[in-house]
């Protein structure tokens, strides 16, 4: 729906020039970089699955049903509108499938809980009108989101915006600075560790991977968050950049949002980098986006990485 999602205003009305803009999308943030061969697809499984803390049981098919996905913890959130719980066949997938019933989402899409209603509605309208897309054409779920948004009515958009906006954003991602990360492959843009516990240099990347890979990938556990591995020193560098960019002018002194401007504290660093790059490359438009353009115009990929590492490390 992150990703949607955020028309981020990480900056004030002036720019901070550092290095030249990156020539190609940071594919590590979009989840589209060439990857090692993933494990073989599992055999069909119709057994009932369970999660600790839940009294419910679902099959894998039920868990990933586009029009009625599993809701493991119904008491964790308010009653879901139809469009969130089940969507509307044939075009509109249930919002809760990708973004979870609690709106937490995953790195390949967006965390949407706690977004201002006005902002949420505005982003959906931009998906509808073609003024929001992805700078990386390999980001397939952006096109899925565009198709879903175009099929939604104004009332459905409003219901989803009010539902997710009523739930505050709470801690979901732990930023860990490191020199090495688990070797991973991507599944629809989400990084998952390969078998064998092998490590590789982190390089100039942030790698977000589930705390519980099976619980996230197979069971879509809405209570299990993510670890964001970031290069050593990136959080401190990001703190200096955020101060120079005066991000607090629009996002608030604590980066938790201000009026219709969304909070960026504690949210997905991959998602944030995608939005910074999309705005820089002109695939996101709108009045608030125009304020962002001078601030992101001269950011390098490393600058974006460092800003994201810092903002994601903040308590939401």
Domain boundaries, the chain: 27-172+233-313
Burial code (b: 16+ CB inside 10 Å, e: under 16) for 28-63 equals bbbbbeebeeeeeeeeeeeeebebeebeeebebeeb
Which of 272, 273, 309, 277 lies closest to 293, judged by CA? 277
DSSP string, 231-298: ETTHHHHHHHHHHHHTTHHHH-TTSS-BTTBPP-TTS-HHHHHHHHHHHHHT-B-SHHHHHHHHHHTT
Report the C-alpha gap between 106 and 10 in whole angstroms. Answer: 21
Q: Note the pLDDT of residue 279.
A: 96
Q: Note the pLDDT of residue 23.
A: 60
Q: What CATH number is given for 27-172+233-313 in this structure?
A: 1.10.760.10
> What residue ranges in the chain does DSSP mark as E strands?
173-178, 180-182, 184-187, 190-193, 199-201, 207-210, 226-231
Q: Note the pLDDT of residue 3.
A: 37
Q: Note the pLDDT of residue 302.
A: 97
Report the C-alpha gap between 57 and 53 in whole angstroms. Answer: 11
pLDDT along the chain (316 residues), means of 10: 37 34 80 82 88 97 98 98 98 98 97 97 96 93 96 98 98 98 93 94 98 96 98 98 94 95 97 97 89 92 98 97
């Amino acid at each position: 729906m992150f990703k949607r999602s955020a028309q981020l205003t990480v900056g004030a009305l002036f720019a901070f020039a550092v290095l030249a803009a990156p020539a190609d999308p940071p594919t590590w943030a979009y989840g589209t970089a060439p990857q090692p061969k993933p494990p073989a697809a599992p055999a069909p499984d119709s057994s009932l699955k369970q999660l600790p803390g839940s009294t419910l049981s679902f099959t894998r098919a039920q868990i990933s049903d586009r029009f009625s996905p599993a809701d493991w913890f119904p008491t964790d959130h308010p009653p879901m509108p139809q469009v969130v719980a089940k969507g509307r066949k044939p075009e509109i997938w249930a919002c809760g499938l990708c973004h979870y019933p609690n709106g937490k989402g995953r790195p390949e899409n967006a965390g949407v809980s706690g977004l201002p209603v006005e902002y949420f509605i505005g982003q959906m309208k931009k998906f509808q009108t073609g003024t929001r897309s992805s700078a990386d054409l390999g980001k397939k779920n952006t096109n899925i989101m565009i198709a879903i948004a175009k099929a939604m009515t104004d009332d459905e958009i409003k219901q989803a915006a009010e539902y997710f906006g009523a739930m505050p954003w709470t801690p979901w991602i732990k930023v860990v600075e490191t020199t090495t990360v688990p070797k991973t492959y991507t599944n629809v843009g989400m990084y998952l560790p390969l078998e064998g516990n092998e490590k590789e240099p982190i390089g100039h990347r942030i790698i977000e991977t589930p705390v519980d890979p099976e619980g996230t990938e197979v069971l879509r556990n809405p209570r299990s968050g993510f670890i964001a591995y970031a290069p050593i020193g990136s959080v401190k560098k990001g703190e200096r950049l955020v101060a120079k960019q005066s991000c607090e002018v629009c996002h608030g002194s604590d980066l938790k949002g201000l009026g219709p401007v969304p909070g960026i504290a504690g949210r997905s660093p991959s998602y944030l980098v995608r939005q910074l790059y999309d705005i820089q490359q002109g695939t996101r438009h709108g009045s608030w986006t125009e304020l962002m353009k001078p601030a992101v115009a001269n950011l390098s990929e490393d600058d974006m990485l460092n800003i994201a590492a810092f903002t994601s490390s903040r308590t939401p």
